[in-house]
Copies of this chain bind each other. A is one copy, B any other.
Amino acid sequence: MESESKWESVLGTRYCRGSPLLYILSEKNKTLVWRQLWIWLAEAEKELGLTQVTEDAINEMKAAKEMIDWNELRAEERKLKHDVMAHNHVYGRMCPSAAGIIHLGATSCYVQDNADCIVIREAVQYLLKRMALVLSRLGDFAERTKSEVTVGRTHYQAASLTTIGKRTCIWIQDLLIAFKELERFMEEQRFRGIKGATGTQDSFMTLFEDDEERVEALDDLVTEKAGFKKRFAISGQTYTRQQDVLLVNSLATFAAAAKKMCMDIRVLQAMGELLEPFEESQIGSSAMPYKRNPMKSERVCSLARQLLTLPQMALNTMAEQGLERTLDDSAGRRMMIAEGLLNTNAILLIIQNISEGLSVRSGVVAKNVREEMPFLALEKALMYLCQEGVDRQKAHATIRSTALDAKEKGDVDLEEMFSAPFYDTVRLRVLDLASSPLHFTGRCVSQTERFLSHELRPTISAYLENNDEKVELEV
């Protein structure tokens, strides 16, 4: 059947097209990791003295590792209705010397759960690099625009001036918090290790004739072979699904930051101040071909919304796990973990593209600043008046009335606004200042510089590779 004749997830066909994650999360990679785990187990068992595990067996396993006959596997799965046993049987048929010792002492979760740990780590490492790149690009944009004055907005209403770079730092800081959460997940992630059916390591105690030290050593050795620094001290049949909660929470935290940034861009594009990149031949809409719709930012918001629901799944999966393990985690985790990682990847691709092509419509930005200047000058006047000893509440009331009058009239003349005698003591200072918008932006420039150099760059530098490649988006 042609692939167009059946539903496929848009995450695979559309939003992550070409991403390495599609392979990392594939059946093939899972199969190879399972086999690798069986090899590590056999090696470690042999190293710790189990004579039934022979050099030949291990060599056969290594030699056959990459050979996968999918038809045979599928047939065996249909027969056994148990995927680990099916893989075990098929692999065993390829390695006759190993057939009796593949999976020796282990339960399904040895391969399933440890493979999940490995696959998740691979994916998270990839995502951290991409995230660092996005943060770096946004840092460059903030650097370039750190002195470009713009109207700050609270309640979506004009407020004190800020700079575009400073505002970008708000976005970066939020993304950076998510980056650090995900980085910490990776650093703290624990391997399930060698724990047996209900986590007691009983089958391994039998194998090693009640020698606790060798069982503990086996757990350490496989953990080390798999490249993990930490493993769980305690487990049921699986590693605790709290670890999934921590992963998904990190991803959702990222999604929240990305969605906030992109909603801001959408609003700023509506106000004419920013333009997300627009591909040459892109058509705005079928009826209004000249429209510049912020479709990329909208898509991020849309994708993020799904990611934001995943903590519910992760938390409820954790909360509903029964005793040493119930299987009601399985199907949901297959969806939640893969889709969470892919969706994060999809968003990263888009926001990299946005950060690489985001353009400021400086004319509009400056015009909006000019229109707000009289009101901002009033705010300065409030400060100056207080400095001059005028009661703050009284100044506040007078200024409010001046401002509302001006708003009513519509067309505002700066000098006229301050013509009342009440402003005598501060008029000159105010009018002088009003000629230089950057003076209204407080410490924006230095805050931006300091944040980029002291917080952003040091945090991401280890993850940045020499990467000049730009993301092009196919819609």
- Whether A324 sits at the interface, judged by CB under 8 Å, is yes
* A313 CB, nearest partner CB in chain B, Å: 6
B289 to A396, Cβ gap below 8 A?
yes
Copies in the complex: 4
Q: Is the CB of B283 within 8 A of A81?
A: yes
Tell me the minimal C-beta distance from A334 to chain B in angstroms: 5
Residue of B nearest to A294 (CB): B155
A22, A286, A384, A474: which has the most chain B beta carbons within 10 Å?
A286
Q: Total interface residues on A, using CB and 8 Å?
A: 201
**A370 interface residue, CB < 8 Å from B?**
no
| A249-B240 contact given A25-B7, A285-B154, A312-B312, CB 8 Å threshold | no
Q: By CB atoms of chain B within 10 A, which of A166, A205, A245 has the most?
A: A245
B315→A328 contact, CB < 8 A: no
Task: Name the residue in A15, A21, A81 with the highest tally of chain B Cβ atoms < 10 Å from its Cβ.
Answer: A81
Q: In the complex, are the beta carbons of B298 and A159 less than 8 A apart?
A: no
Complex contacts, A153 vs chain B, CB 8 Å: 198, 270, 322-324
Beta-carbon contacts of A326-349 to B below 8 Å, as 1s and 0s?
111111111110110010000000
Indicate whether A404 reaches chain B with its CB closer than 8 angstroms: yes
Q: Given the complex, which residues of B lie within 8 Å of A378, measured CB to CB?
A: 290
A450 surroundings in chain B (CB, below 8 A): 233
Tell me, rounded to whole Å, the shortest Cβ–Cβ distance linking A419 to chain B: 17
Return chain B residues, CB-CB under 8 Å to A204.
442
Q: A174 vs B241: C-alpha distance in the bound complex, in angstroms? A: 9
Structural contact, B159 and A233, CB atoms closer than 8 A: no
Q: How far is the CB of A173 from chain B (nearest CB, A)?
A: 5
- B319 and A263 contacting across the interface, CB-CB below 8 Å: yes
Q: How far is the CA of A380 from the CA of B209 in the complex (A)?
A: 12
Known A2-B70, A154-B326, A386-B100: A161·B331 in contact at CB below 8 Å: no
Closest 9 CB pairs of A and B: A290-B403, A202-B442, A289-B400, A200-B442, A152-B198, A156-B270, A81-B475, A155-B293, A9-B9
